[in-house]
Each structure stands twice: as structure tokens, then as C-alpha cells.
Amino acid sequence: MLSRVAERVYWQARYLERIENTARLLDVFSTLLMDLPKGTKLGWHSLVHITGTHEIFDATGRQPIERNVMKFLLPEDNGISIINMLAAARENARTTREIMPTEAFEQINELYFYAKENLAQGVSRGPRHQLFEEIITSCQQITGLMAGTMSHNDAYSFVRLGRDLERADMTTRIVDVGSSNLLVSSQSSTQADEPLTNILWMNILRSMSAYQMYRQHVKDRVNAEDVVIFLLQNDEFPRSLAHCISQLSSVVDELPNHSKSLAQIAKTYRAIKHANIEKLLGDGLFQFIDDLQIEIGAIHKAIADSWFLQK
């Protein structure tokens, strides 16, 4: 398989996964709004922060209110909105059509046209949930279509690498939502009440379609520590960080020249599994999430160095 094509396939999968996860993240935020008592506000700026786009947003000089943030993240042409990510996914799919199943390109293409037409509506709350549901379902369909119609060859390995690494990245960001100072109570206390915090964690689980699996696994009411352990260290749930990273390892194992990437992935996996979540939660988890992000960056670099066209 050509190095250049491997890179494009990898990015196409990353973009698609990022689109799905951004839709999930924005959906939690919007659902959360409905659960909050009057007087409690959501910090919309942290949403921009979580998606890693705060610098670009701040440069526009706009107020971080709901409408502005949603516009910024959905239909705007700023290089990082969902519509731009979809255009990038489509472009990567278009330029790797020779190796992808035809239907996969067609579905990505259709999703692009759907989004182009409907994303602007997501700025207002009414149609928002349906829009996100549509995007999430389409992304899942595309993933399923590739799994079911594409030979599980090298090209598919790069699809999986892109998908799992991006998923790992977003899981750390979403966990960050829970631990960051998201809920701003109108009362003087800076810390939100415990029941509110639990609502927040419950919504976070829902955003990753993890609530049901969490309940089956934990058999206890929703609480910060168990949720974070579940989302970061569980080996069975497909969106948990540990699971994503161990998947990478089994994919990489099948590829040639894999020693560098395998070593980095193993190192990251150990860092996740050995973490003492209870203790880390006390400090707000920030530093740990930052470290994980650096690890994920290092995995990407190892992949790029081993298989992509060297510029």
C-alpha cells in the first residue's frame, strides 16, 4: 500500500471520528441545558476549549455565548467547524477512491451534502438534537459499511488506526469536560452541587453511548470516580481510552515496520492502566489529561514516521 494513500485514509478516518465525537459532545451540552436548574449556567467557553479551538475562537473577538459558539463549531468556514471537517473527510475519501469501497465514498459524500444544507439550523436549540443524531448515525453507518464491505487489509488497518486514535483523543477531552469547572452556579460558591455534578457525569456517559454499559459494569449509582475509571481504564467498552489504545496495538502488530509504534503504544497503555484515578481526581485531573494528550500525540508521530510519505 502506498504511503501517501495510507496517510489520506488515516486522516479520513480521523476526521470522520472527530465529526461524530464533536456531534456527541455538543449534544451533551445541549441536553445538559435542559437538566439544569434555573440560575445555573453552562460555561460555553469551556466547550471551545475542549475541542482545542479556543485560540481561533478568541481571535474572532466574539462573546462565548451559545449562539456564537454553535455557529463557530457547526456551519462556519473557519477551518475547524464540522462542515470544514466534513469537507476534509470528503476530500480525503475522494482522493483515495481507488482503494475504498465505492459506497463508503458515496455515504460520506451524502453526509457532506446533508450537513451543508442543515448545519446552520443547529445554531438554534429546536432542531439541534435531531441534527446531531443524524450525523452520529451516518458516521456509524459509514464505519459499519467499511467494516462489513472492505477487506481487512492494510488500508483497513489505517482506517482503524485513525479511528481509534481519534476516539482515544476525544475520550480524554470529554472526560476533561466532567472534571473542568463547567457548571457556573449563580450562587457565590464556585463549585456546583453534588447532584448537579452527577447529572453532568450521567450526560457525559450518555454522550458516549456509555450509560447502559457503565451501569452493567459498575452496578452503582453514577459518581465521578467510577465514571472516570470506566471511561479511561476499562478494557471492554469500545470508547474507553484503554480499549482504544489496546486496539491500536493489535492493528499495528499486523503492519510492517511496527516496532517504534508498538513501543509507544505500550508505553501509553501502561500510563493509563497504572494511574490512580481516585488520587488524580482530587487534583482536578487536568495534568493527567494533558499528559495523556501528549502520549496520543506521540503515537501519531510514531505512526507518521513509520508509514507516511516523509516530506
Partner 1 sequence: MRINWKTYDPGKFYDEIISAQGVPRPAARQLANYLKSLTHAELTEKKLAAELAIKTMGISFAVYSDAGNIDREWPFDIIPRVITAKEWEHTSKGLQQRLRALNCFINDIYNDQKVFKDKIIPKELILNSTNFRKQCLGIKPRYGVWAHVCGTDLIRDRDGLFYVLEDNLRVPSGVSYMLENRRVTKRVFPELFENYNISPVQNYPDQLFDTLAAISPRTSEYPEVVVLTPGIYNSAYFEHSFLAQRMGAELVEGGDLVVEKDKVFMRTIDGLAQVDVIYRRIDDLFLDPTVFNKDSILGVPGLFKSWVKGNVALANAPGAGVADDKVIYTYVPKLVKYYLGEDPILPNVTSFLCTDKTECQHVLQNLDKLVVKPANESGGYGMLMGPQSTKKEREEFARKIKADPRNYMAQPLISLSTVPILGDRGVEPRHVDLRPFVLQADKSYVTAGGLTRVAMVKGSYIVNSSQGGGSKDTWIVGDE
Q: Which residues bind partner 1 (CB under 8 A)?
A: 1-6, 91, 94-95, 97-99, 102, 105-106, 109-110, 113, 154, 255-257, 306-307, 309
Q: Which residues contact 297 (CB under 8 A, 6 or more apart)?
A: none
Query: Which of 32, 85 has the CB closer to partner 1?
Result: 85
Q: For residues 263 and 309, which CB has a smaller minimum distance to partner 1 in the complex?
A: 309
Nearer to partner 1, 97 or 270 (CB): 97
Least Cβ distance, residue 306 to partner 1 (angstroms):
8
Residue 135 Cα to chain centre, angstroms: 14
Minimum distance between the CB of residue 109 and partner 1, rounded to whole angstroms?
5
Contacts 24+ apart (CB under 8 A), 29-32: 30/125, 30/128, 30/129, 30/132, 31/129, 31/203, 31/206, 32/199, 32/200, 32/203
Closer residue to partner 1 in complex, CB, 62/116: 116
CA distances, 130 to each of 51, 111, 121, 127 (Å): 21, 14, 10, 6
Distances (CA, A) of 110 to 135, 139, 145: 11, 11, 14
Cβ 6 to partner 1 shortest distance, Å: 5
Of 238, 239, 241, 258, the C-alpha closest to 250 is 258
Is the CB of 124 or the CB of 250 nearer to partner 1? 250
Cβ closer to partner 1: 148 or 256?
256
In this structure, the strands spanning 40-42 and 183-185 are antiparallel
Q: Identify the H or E element spanning 194.
A: helix 194-207
**CA distance linking residue 185 with residue 288, whole number of Å:** 26
CB of 121 to partner 1, least distance (A): 21
Return the number of the residue (2 or 120) whose C-beta is nearest partner 1.
Answer: 2
Q: Which amino acid is at 40?
A: T
DSSP assigned state of 122: G
Element (H, E) at 265: helix 259-273
Answer for the pair 306, 257: CB distance below 8 angstroms, yes or no: yes
Taking the complex as a whole, how short is the minimal distance between the CB of residue 105 and partner 1, in angstroms? 6
Question: Amino acid identity of 306?
Answer: S
Give the Cα separation of 17 and 23 in Å (integer). Answer: 10
- Give min distance, CB of 137 to partner 1, in A: 17
Closest CB to partner 1 among residues 266, 309: 309
| Shortest Å, Cβ 101 to partner 1 | 10
DSSP code for 189: -
